[in-house]
Amino acid sequence: MSGRLQGKVALISGTARGQGAAARERFVAEGATVFGGDLNTSTGEAHLDVTDEASVAAWIQRAIDAHDRIDILYNNAGAVRFAAVDDQSLEDWRFTLAAELDSVFLTCKRAWPHLKASRGVILNVGSTAGLTGSMTNQRAAHSASKGGVIALTRQLAAEGAPHGIRVNSISPGMIATPGARENLLAPHHPMRAIADAIPLGRLGTEQDVTPAAVFLCSDEAAYITGANLVIDGGWSVVLPGAQQMKENE
Amino acid sequence: MSARLRGRVIVVTGAGRGQGEAEVKRLAEEGAQVIACDLEPPSSPGSVHGAALDVANPADWADLADRIAQGFGRVDGLINNAAVTSRFRLPEVSLQEWNRVLAINLTGPLLGIQTLLPLMPEGASIVNVGSIAALNGHYTAAYTASKWGLRGLTQTAAMELGARGIRVNAVHPGYIDTPMTATAPAAFLEANLQVTPLGRAGEPEEVAELMVFLMSDESRFINGAEITIDGGQVAGGLATLMSNAARGAGK
């Protein structure tokens, strides 16, 4: 076993299923001690509501009580409500911003003193939604929150550097997680066809994302901070239709 | 020893020193067969195979491809690392100098991709080494233009080669401690450190770790990405300068 995260204490939010569960498994395999958290505690995760500051504070404290330190904070948890801009209620807008952006602020804020002590690392999850607009998915709140996460990452990289804290984001494209299968990849949703527009010709899987998380959270990435690593098979670099034009030549 | 690149055949240009040399060493440690190319062929310890290559010369690339085809039968990775710096200001850069820099920094990677593509199977990975000078304006006109051009080449290649299952990404280093950057005036390093949040130059070995990741299957869904390795300079360099100035003023 290579142990690229040997001896590190990693906090990962949203570990009950999907990307978070895959990350937990991979981080443990690389030698990390993982302290997970989720709203869903049925699989034995510590309770965590990332939109509630008291819940976040309690989660951080439980991790410190158990492991004395935090080396890695991986802000994986999130939740989203999609709707056309004129159909979206303010409540649903706020739900999305709270789950995807407030959440990152709260965990970073509460973990910050411990990350200063350990000269630790934060990994946030942006999205190609934070970089491009979409004609197949009506996602104003999601785009705004993920653009916010990418900007917040850059700012925290600047604020964290004097303390030796590195802060980066990964921005997945279309990953076939359980959450995506329930909405964007459900039958009849136009997003189901987007694999054709991805240069690599397929959707991503959780296993396409976790190795990037391991790399950025490891000491191998010691000079990388403020970066946003896009994991989308090339989706966001092509103009809509460019791939089809090439194939029709 | 881990072997994240076991059995892969990887070509590195500009491999004789600095960043390229460090990359060759790490790739070989992870189990790759490395074709280390430079104007003067680098030494060939173990699984490293030195080769003479002028990246601006199509005939050199054709010779290299022939030898790799005979010796290995395929290319799983290409790191277009070779580059020259050029510090002429816009009014002073000669056409000859402009053409020289573009030939090495931009045409070289194009020739490498075109020539080695027939040897690349599905799953192959190409990395073009850009620069943070490709992400904003920079005072070195020819160098900056060549690196911006390389970004465009990277994104087009990511689109066109993606259908073959070949990935193409760009890495943008900030100030890395190499023989190339050592030729800059000392004030250039000092100014760089003032706008680098981590407050230090990067090491070639740190860039090499990123190359291992991008050459491996760990990055198999990463295509067309632009990855900064700059100590935070692009993300927060200006703010760092202002923050430190304010601190110096007692704020």
**Closest CB from B210, B229, B235 relative to A154:** B235
Query: Any idea which residue has 């964290």 for tokens?
Result: A160
A55 falls within a domain? yes
- Contact between chains at A223 and B197 (C-beta distance less than 8 A): no
pLDDT-derived band at A247 (thresholds 50, 70, 90) equals low
Collect contacts of A149-155 with beta carbons under 8 A, ≥24 apart.
A149/A100, A149/A101, A149/A104, A149/A124, A149/A125, A150/A124, A150/A126, A150/A228, A152/A101, A152/A104, A152/A105, A152/A108, A152/A124, A153/A122, A153/A124, A153/A126, A153/A226, A153/A228, A153/B235, A154/A226, A154/B235, A154/B236, A155/B236, A155/B239
B155: chain A residues, CB-CB within 8 Å: 237-238
Domains identified in chain A, total number? 1
Per-residue pLDDT tens listing for chain B (251 residues): 579 999 999 999 999 999 999 999 999 999 999 999 999 999 999 999 999 999 999 999 999 999 999 999 999 999 999 999 988 999 999 999 999 999 999 999 999 999 999 999 999 999 999 999 999 888 889 999 999 999 999 999 999 999 999 999 999 999 999 988 888 888 988 999 999 999 999 999 999 999 999 999 999 999 999 999 999 999 987 777 887 888 877 66
Mean pLDDT of chain A: 93
Answer yes or no: are the C-beta atoms of B84 and B17 closer than 8 Å. no
ipTM for the predicted complex? 0.85
CA atoms of B20 and B55, how far apart (whole Å) = 14
The residue range of the domain holding A27 is: 9-248
- Contact between chains at B222 and A220 (C-beta distance less than 8 A): no
B139 catalytic? Reply is no
pTM score of the predicted model: 0.90
Q: For the segment B50-66, what is each residue's pLDDT rounded down to a tens digit?
A: 999 999 999 999 999 99
Residues 175-234 of A with CB under 8 A from B: 198-201, 204-205, 208-209, 211-212, 214-215, 220-227, 229-234
Q: Which residues contact B209 (CB under 8 A, 6 or more apart)?
A: A215, A220, A221, B26
Nearest to A231 by CA among A148, A170, A163, A159: A170
Query: Any idea which residue has 């991790």 for tokens?
Result: A63
Q: For the segment A220-233, what is each residue's pLDDT rounded down to a tens digit?
A: 999 999 999 999 99
Q: How far is A231 from chain B (nearest CA, A)?
A: 5
Amino acid A241: pLDDT: 59
- Contact between chains at A234 and B162 (C-beta distance less than 8 A): yes
- A62: domain CATH number is 3.40.50.720
A171 falls within a domain? yes
CA atoms of B243 and A38, how far apart (whole Å) = 37
A4 falls within a domain? no
A206 falls within a domain? yes
A16: pLDDT strictly greater than 80: yes
Mean pLDDT of chain B: 94
A193 falls within a domain? yes
Residue B176 forms beta bridges with which residues? B202
Amino acid B240: pLDDT: 78
* Catalytic site residue from B143, B144, B192, B228: B143
- Contact between chains at A2 and B2 (C-beta distance less than 8 A): yes
Amino acid A245: pLDDT: 58
